[in-house]
Amino acid sequence: MEAGSRCRTGVRCVLAIVLLPTLLITLVATGYAASDESRTEAYFESIRKDPNLLLAFLREMPKGGDLHNHLTGSIYAESYIQLAAKHGDCVDPKSFSILAGPCTAPAVPASIALSDPNLYAHMIDALSMRNWQLSGQSGHDHFFDAFGKYAQATEGATDKLLAETASRAASQREVYQELMLTPTGKDLETLARKLGEEQHWDADFGHGRAASDADFETMRQALLDNGLPEILTTARAQLEQAEAQRNAGMHCGTPQSDPGCEVVQRFLAQVSRGKSKDVVFAQMLAGFLLSGADPAAVPPAAHMSGINLVMPEDWYIPMLDFSLQMRMLNYLHKKYPRVHITLHAGELVEGLVPPEGLQFHVRDSVEIGHAERIGHGVDIMNEPGSLDLMREMAQNNVMVEICLTSNDVILGVRGAEHPLRDYIRAGVPVALATDDEGVARSDMTHEYLKGAQEQDLSYLQLKKMARTSLERAFLGGPSLWRDGKMVLMMKECTTQKPNFEKPPPACQKFLDGSEKARLQWKLEWQFRQFESRPWTSPFGSTRPAATE
């Protein structure tokens, strides 16, 4: 790096000075040839202002995992139209919502869209953010309306949704996904409302009496005694069946296997924070139990890794019940401390809610809701003591899942207004994520592109984010990194020249005992291969300098 040319940017110069010692230690610890990494970084800098070359480079760059990805939102509208046509669903020609068949006028068969370009185009626009500026709605409203419009097409199609997002992830050079989905259905909601009515939840809580841990314990026991284990048994079987069907549809384990078979998928149980208090608590408890909270009482789902609260934070019930929901999580965390929690928090902006509504969501999610990761965190600077809060998050390794495209189209937050660089300066772990790549019409490569172009992230910062995504993933086993900062590998795997194809016996034994470490090792291998390429311009220049 030429200090005279690059230090004019200020922030990048400071970050380079901070990162340099860490980089040197990492190169020694992992056996990397400094020339490979520095040459790759130099090439990245040389093409920074060329969006086409930058896109080609970033598409090939290893990206680790996507930790903030709603399963149904990850699917493109074109796929939902195909599914609706195949299932005999219908379309409302006014709203372009997909409806269950048989079709009754004015609804028409969804299959008509496959031969009617006008209907097809209108459906894609309605089911996604394509051309949303022409919809007459705000980006926020158009985005969240899309979920209800395509919901019918998701019925019975979980295996196909898993396959599509896995295949796309593989094409983006990802190795891991944590996918949010709702594992339980109407039976749980019916049971929760019945028990809530018996215990006067809606009548009492928020109307002169605060809920207590004793109230939560009474409801927990009532759910367990009145059919929750059976509901979870059904949910677990349905998820396992969907995974098996996904593997069969992708021909996993055969010579014809889809590259997506190599992507490890794990699940987060969604809790619909906009539903009634009793349903929210029941969904939380279901998510905890499916994630292995009490294996003796309720066997966990094999690949359920934790829970997350979803639905827009600015809606009435999520705002009204936010503090109550955090207390529910606090109770369940005390009861079942091993279950992982990540929370949407701070997906808000000035004007979307009253000023008071911007002042506590991130802090309460961390300090009361026990969130190990925060999704979005866009409004953090509106919270009192925000800098102290970020320092607290950094000290406790509370990661922020950064969704640049989503924050842009939903909240209008982009560029310097986004707090990403503030999180980085505070030392808070961060990683890029897609949120709802199908609805947003994006993918992980374009999240990295936004990071480079709009947030001025360097190659080394993007690389660190890829590593962080696996370091903070809810995966079993110890990390490959012994220091928590992704600088020094575990001693069993530390050599001057790691053989990523055939690790030493001690390292292989360690990897065999840790799913997390195996994926981290795979990512390091991918970076070794990526950075060993002869990065040169396709236009004839070789080994371009960072100042080109």
pLDDT at 203: 64
In this predicted structure, the answer to whether residue 27 has a pLDDT above a threshold of 80 is no
pLDDT at 20: 44
> Do you find a cis peptide bond into 102, omega within 30 degrees of 0?
yes
pLDDT at 545: 45
Q: Tokens for 222, please give them.
A: 């009532």
* 3-state per-residue secondary structure call for 468-512: HHHHCCCCCCCCCECCCCCCCECHHHCCCCCCCCCCCHHHHHHHH
34 pLDDT band, cuts 50/70/90, is low
Residues 6+ apart with CB under 8 A from 396: 366
**Reduced to 3 states, what is the DSSP secondary structure of residue 421?**
helix
Tell me, which fold does domain 158-471 have in CATH?
TIM Barrel (3.20.20)
61 pLDDT band, cuts 50/70/90, is very high
* The amino acid at 516: K
Looking at every residue in the chain, the average pLDDT score rounds to: 91
Q: Tokens for 139, please give them.
A: 């980006």
Which region among 81-90, 457-466, 534-543 has the lowest average model confidence (pLDDT)? 534-543
Query: 517-528 pLDDT, tens per residue?
Result: 999 999 999 999
More confident: 170 or 23: 170
**Mind giving me the DSSP string for 180-194?**
EE----HHHHHHHHH
pLDDT at 535: 85
135 pLDDT band, cuts 50/70/90, is very high
* Domain residue ranges in the chain: 75-154, 158-471
Q: Tokens for 273, please give them.
A: 């924070």
Query: 260-300 pLDDT, tens per residue?
Result: 999 999 999 999 999 999 999 999 999 999 999 999 889 99
Query: 233-269 pLDDT, tens per residue?
Result: 999 999 999 999 999 999 999 999 999 999 999 999 9
Mean per-residue pLDDT for 308-329?
96
> Nearest-5° angle of CA 327, CA 333, CA 335?
105
Distance CA 305, CA 66 (A): 14
Query: 365-420 pLDDT, tens per residue?
Result: 999 999 999 999 999 999 999 999 999 999 999 999 999 999 999 999 999 999 99
In this predicted structure, the answer to whether residue 8 has a pLDDT above a threshold of 50 is no
Mean per-residue pLDDT for 326-331?
97
pLDDT at 23: 43
> Nearest-5° angle of CA 473, CA 474, CA 479?
65
pLDDT at 191: 98
Q: Which of 496, 547, 483, 486 is nearest to 520 (CA)?
A: 486
Q: DSSP state, 293?
A: S
Mean per-residue pLDDT for 200-205?
72
* Crossing angle between the packed helical segments 11-30 and 34-46, to the nearest 10 degrees: 150
Q: Where are the alpha helices (DSSP H) in 311-385?
A: 316-320, 322-335, 361-367
* 3-state per-residue secondary structure call for 52-115: HHHHHHHHHCCCEEEEEEECHHHCCHHHHHHHHHHHCCEECCCCCCEECCCCCCCCEEHHHHHC
More confident: 484 or 216: 216
Beta partners for 65?
176
499 pLDDT band, cuts 50/70/90, is confident
490 pLDDT band, cuts 50/70/90, is very high
In this predicted structure, the answer to whether residue 25 has a pLDDT above a threshold of 70 is no
Q: Tokens for 462, please give them.
A: 């993007």
Q: Which of 159, 218, 145, 155 is nearest to 186 (CA)?
A: 155
The bridge status of strand 264-272 relative to strand 304-310 is: parallel
547 pLDDT band, cuts 50/70/90, is very low
More confident: 32 or 527: 527
Q: Which of 147, 229, 219 is nearest to 181 (CA)?
A: 147
Q: Tokens for 98, please give them.
A: 């997909």
* Crossing angle between the packed helical segments 213-225 and 277-290, to the nearest 10 degrees: 70
